[in-house]
């Protein structure tokens, strides 16, 4: 029997050297290979800090205690190769002076060792996979020439270009309008299923989390206050804070939402 893809043990993170005021405290959590895990909570709850810690992207001045094990080993995963990361703002994560096709190809060239023609071909295939309109033209476009939703599709293509085992989407839909959000969520769900990736979906939107995830972890003030299957967390929340999140979601009807998500079916 194989162990989890990611094991987090007694993890505490502080953005100041004074660890007595941690931004994240005493987190124990596993992510299984192929699992879809959502982290939800309000701003400042520590959910993005956890995502950055797993990916090894915390600032060097951050104080970190505890352990993050990758496939059972105390080693950092290879960014881009083992973990793909999709940030909230694609405009900030994409190079504004480089064509988007080249940015995707650079990932494949660097991490897969592909020659440049093969890397460019992979970039074009990925633009087709993320359903970017006119991918042959988009290959040579610059980020400012694309819409916000199209830039996020490019960012997703770059994140999966080297075939990572874990895809982290950190508030990847929050800057988009509702219709585009739904399209991006459907795209992420499809790509994760097709490639067998694990997914860590970070969001303040409990409805989106329920739509995507097998399990949901609820964070508040740097602590994990609830963890369970998506069905259980939505239908029978155990913590008062989770109940408040559900109550605050306007128009959220738990039973129909769970039925619509089709958990167990991709």
DSSP code, position 83: E
CATH number of the structural domain spanning residue 229: 3.40.50.300
What lies within 8 Å, CB to CB, of 89 at 6+ separation is 175
Domain limits for position 131? 35-52+79-261
Q: What is the pLDDT of residues 36-49, one digit of tens each?
A: 999 999 988 999 99
Residue 177 falls within a domain, yes or no?
yes
Residue 123 falls within a domain, yes or no?
yes
pTM above 0.95, yes or no: no
Three-point CA angle 252, 255, 256, nearest 5° = 75
Residue 70 falls within a domain, yes or no?
no
Q: What is the pLDDT of residues 125-153, one digit of tens each?
A: 999 999 999 999 999 999 999 999 999 99
Residue 14 falls within a domain, yes or no?
no
Residue 16 falls within a domain, yes or no?
no
Helix (H) or strand (E) holding 198: strand 198-203
198 φ/ψ angles, rounded to the nearest 5 degrees: -80, 155
Look at the alpha carbons of 53, 58, 64, 68 in this order and tell me if their dihedral is positive or negative.
positive
Helix (H) or strand (E) holding 9: strand 6-14
Domain tally, the chain: 1
Residue 41 falls within a domain, yes or no?
yes
Confidence of residue 250 (pLDDT cuts 50, 70, 90): low
Residue 213 falls within a domain, yes or no?
yes
């Amino acid at each position: 029997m194989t162990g989890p893809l990611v094991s987090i043990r007694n993890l505490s993170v502080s953005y100041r050297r004074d660890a007595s005021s941690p931004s994240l405290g005493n987190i124990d959590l596993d992510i299984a290979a192929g699992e879809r895990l959502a982290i939800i909570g309000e701003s400042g709850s520590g959910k993005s800090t956890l995502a950055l810690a797993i990916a090894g992207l915390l600032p060097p001045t951050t104080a970190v205690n505890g352990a993050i094990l990758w496939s059972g080993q105390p080693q950092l995963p290879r960014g881009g190769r083992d973990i793909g990361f999709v940030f909230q703002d694609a405009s900030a994560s994409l190079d504004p002076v480089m064509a988007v096709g080249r940015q995707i190809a650079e990932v494949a060239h660097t991490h897969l060792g592909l020659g440049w023609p093969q890397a460019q071909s992979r970039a074009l295939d990925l633009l087709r996979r993320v359903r970017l309109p006119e991918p042959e033209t988009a290959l040579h476009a610059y980020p400012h020439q694309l819409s916000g939703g199209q830039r996020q599709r490019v960012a997703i293509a770059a994140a999966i270009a080297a075939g990572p085992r874990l895809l982290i989407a950190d508030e990847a839909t929050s800057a988009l309008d509702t219709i585009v959000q739904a399209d991006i969520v459907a795209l992420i769900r499809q790509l994760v299923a097709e490639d067998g990736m694990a997914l860590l979906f970070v969001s303040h939107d409990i409805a989106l989390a329920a739509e995507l995830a097998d399990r949901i972890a609820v964070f508040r003030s740097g602590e994990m206050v609830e963890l369970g299957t998506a069905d259980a967390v939505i239908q029978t929340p155990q913590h008062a804070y989770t109940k408040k999140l559900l109550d605050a979601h306007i128009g959220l009807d738990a039973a129909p939402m769970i039925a619509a998500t089709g958990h167990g079916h991709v």
